[in-house]
Amino acid sequence: MGFLAESALVDAAQHRLDGTVPAHDHGYLVIVTVLGGHGWHTSPLGRRQLARGDVILLRAGAFHGYAECRALRIFVICLDPALFRQELTWAMADPLLGYLLKDGPYAPKRHGLLMFRLGRRALDRCADRFRALAELRGEPLLRYRGDVIGNVTLVLGELARAADDARDPRELLSTSHFHPTAMQAMRLLESRLADAWTLAGLAAALHVTPNYLVRIFKSSTGLPPMAYLTRHRVETAAILLLNTHDPVAQIAAAVGWTDQNYFARRFRAHFGLSPSAYRARGASP
């Protein structure tokens, strides 16, 4: 359950769970929607009984599991992060989608998870999109890319509205103030991940001062540029570790760290595991 083929941008399918599913993580964004049955969700946020309409969104590397499941029916959508650097780049600058995909899961003490519930009508509308995505599973992406992206976008819209309704009103819509230069900086860092970036070099490429760049970037993303780069590097490395057989040293170089020991320290600081241990654990159901 929940494995993303190398050639796929999206995988979507319904699953039935019985018993216990041990704690595990994934190298891509995962959205779980509960359709029926009984069970508990376990994560660093604690243990929560699941009900129809519950949604669990997990960023890459977030750990979770299931317990005491009895005919628990869930629909799982796995999204390659490349989607948000290609077709869905705009989503990160949208206030509601930005909260769903970025600000919400990365809020303090959320551990990369966002949990909320869909109302009956919203769930019914999503169910139609789920069926369409399930039918498209296995179809050639070159012929059905528009259909897949369209259905995913409609699901994300429903989820974003539900997540916004459930959020603490004290939270700020930071993405509503997403500076275009900050967006340009993000795209530049993500598209040239292997480059030996420095703050001064990034600022020069954008024709702004380093202090100004730090101010607008942190205001938009919650992180300074170099911290954002580090996070993106380790998340990309996690995806490569789980979905390729490339040597660890090659993956380290691909994400911009030629010193494998330094890469291992940064990876462990983010995920709590060495790259080799993370790969060995794998992405279990």
* Whether 16 and 134 share a structural domain: yes
Least confident of 101-115, 118-132, 134-148: 101-115
Phi and psi, residue 18, nearest 5° = -135, 140
Q: Is 7 left (phi over 0), alpha (psi -120 to 50) or beta?
A: alpha
* Whether 206 and 151 share a structural domain: no
In a domain, 116, yes or no: yes
* Whether 149 and 199 share a structural domain: no
In a domain, 256, yes or no: yes
In a domain, 1, yes or no: no
In a domain, 171, yes or no: no
Distance of alpha carbon 221 from alpha carbon 219, whole angstroms = 6
Q: Stretch 184-194: mean pLDDT, rounded?
A: 86
pLDDT(175) > 90: no
In a domain, 193, yes or no: yes
Q: Stretch 193-213: mean pLDDT, rounded?
A: 95
* Whether 90 and 37 share a structural domain: yes
* Whether 137 and 214 share a structural domain: no
Give the confidence band of 108 by pLDDT, cuts at 50, 70, 90.
low
- The residue that leads in pLDDT, 177 or 237, is 237
* Whether 88 and 20 share a structural domain: yes
Do 259 and 43 meet the contact criterion of CB atoms below 8 Å apart?
Answer: no
Give the confidence band of 4 by pLDDT, cuts at 50, 70, 90.
very low
In a domain, 174, yes or no: no
pLDDT(275) > 90: yes
Q: What's the CATH code of the domain at 47?
A: 2.60.120.280
* Whether 270 and 189 share a structural domain: yes
When mean pLDDT is compared over 78-92, 151-165, 207-221, the highest value belongs to 151-165
Residue indicated by tokens 């590397």: 61
Task: Identify the pLDDT of residue 176.
Answer: 45
Do 73 and 13 meet the contact criterion of CB atoms below 8 Å apart?
Answer: no
Q: How many CB atoms lie within 10 A of CB 247?
A: 10
Q: Write out the residue range of the structural domain in which residue 209 sits.
A: 179-281
From the list 40, 102, 28, the residue with the least C-alpha distance to 74 is 40
* Whether 20 and 156 share a structural domain: yes
From the list 44, 80, 91, 49, the residue with the least C-alpha distance to 63 is 44
Q: Give residues with Cβ within 8 angstroms of 118, minimum separation 6.
A: 33, 53, 54, 55, 126, 158, 159, 162
For the chain, what percent of residues have pLDDT higher than 90? 53
* Whether 92 and 227 share a structural domain: no
* Whether 240 and 135 share a structural domain: no
Q: What's the CATH code of the domain at 228?
A: 1.10.10.60
DSSP three-state, residue 16 = strand
pLDDT(6) > 50: no
Task: Identify the pLDDT of residue 5.
Answer: 47
How many domains does the chain contain in total? 2
pLDDT(104) > 80: yes
Give the confidence band of 188 by pLDDT, cuts at 50, 70, 90.
confident
